[in-house]
Amino acid sequence: MRCWYIPHDPDHFRQALATLKQVAWVDFSAVFHKTTATDKLVGKSVKVKKTLSVEAEKAMQKFNRWLLSRRYSSNTIKTYMDAMRIFLRFFHDKPISHIDNEDVIRFNNEYIHAGKYSASYQNQVVNAIKLFFRSVEDRKIDPDLVHRPRPEKKLPNVLSKEEVKRIIESPRNLKHRAMLSLIYACGLRRSELLNLKIEDILKERMLIVIRQSKGRKDRIIPISSRLMSILEEYVKLYKPKVWLFEGQRAGEAYSEGSLQAVLKQSVQESGIKKPVTLHWLRHSYATHLLESGTDLRYIQELLGHKSSRTTEIYTHVSTHSLQRIRSPFDDL
């Protein structure tokens, strides 16, 4: 049938996306929405065409060039491009020049709300739409008329130190153990770990340099002697050429999908039943630092947060002070 088949599960999708990330744009919306061409939303059929019109395709190419020229990150470009493709397919029978604020509100109600998409996804779509019309159409979508969801106030998921230890010690493969250890020990994002190069480890100063991370910022993080020993043992055994963690081919960075698979396997072998993600290790690092008495300002620097408000969320999950509170129930 001149096609490939892969198992229908999130891990295989992530691996496929990671493999094709640098060479192609992947539209897998039809996989998750079996009625892509005719999504039944809010009690009526809303036509969502599978392909873009010639006009929309040209506009998308212009939008992509504009984002590249402004040096948006690859992840941001993909997010905005994906959002705009869905939006323009939704209004496939309407010229772009005729789309207005009412259409954005309709899209929110008939596609996002009816499809039960998250509030964060809705915000991403609204941001993409505003930027698209400002850069491509040279006109603004009035932000006061675009309905934005109230931000969800969710607490970060945090593991205990014992749970983290079980996950990190589960892999028998030294490379896998080194990757998970480094994410937790330095509070790294997934992309930060995968973008590390050998020269970013400063052995003499016991530091690790994170270059051009989120917000295009550099930062340095101290490394413990125990972690340095693990990394030295790993480098001596695997001899990476360019990236600190490489895939099966020398000089090729380790893939996001493979890293996710490493964590999933480690969590299963540790016997932990929680739906742990790589970001849980970063949350746990920050919370454990706070509970050990580290100043919030230092934690903000270590995590690379632009605003202290982002870091302050960890005060709500730290149990250091909460455990000192005596319940009135005990006095009954």
Active centre residues (catalytic):
189, 214, 279, 282, 305, 314
Can you tell me the distance from the alpha carbon of 47 to that of 36, in angstroms, rounded to the nearest whole number? 8
**Residue the block writes with tokens 């000192």:** 324
Closest to 267 (Cα-Cα) out of 191, 187, 166, 157: 166
Long-range CB contacts (< 8 A, 24+ apart) of 16-23? 16/257, 17/256, 17/257, 18/255, 18/256, 18/257, 18/258, 19/255, 19/257, 21/74
In degrees and rounded to multiples of 5, residue 137 shows phi and psi of: -95, -10
Chain CA centroid to CA 299, Å: 20
Of 171, 209, 203, 169, residue with least CA distance to 188: 209
Q: What's the one-letter identity of residue 123? A: N
Task: Report CA Rg, the chain.
Answer: 23
Residue pair 105/65 in contact (Cβ under 8 Å)? The answer is no
Any idea of the CA torsion for 298, 299, 305, 308, to the nearest 10 degrees? -80
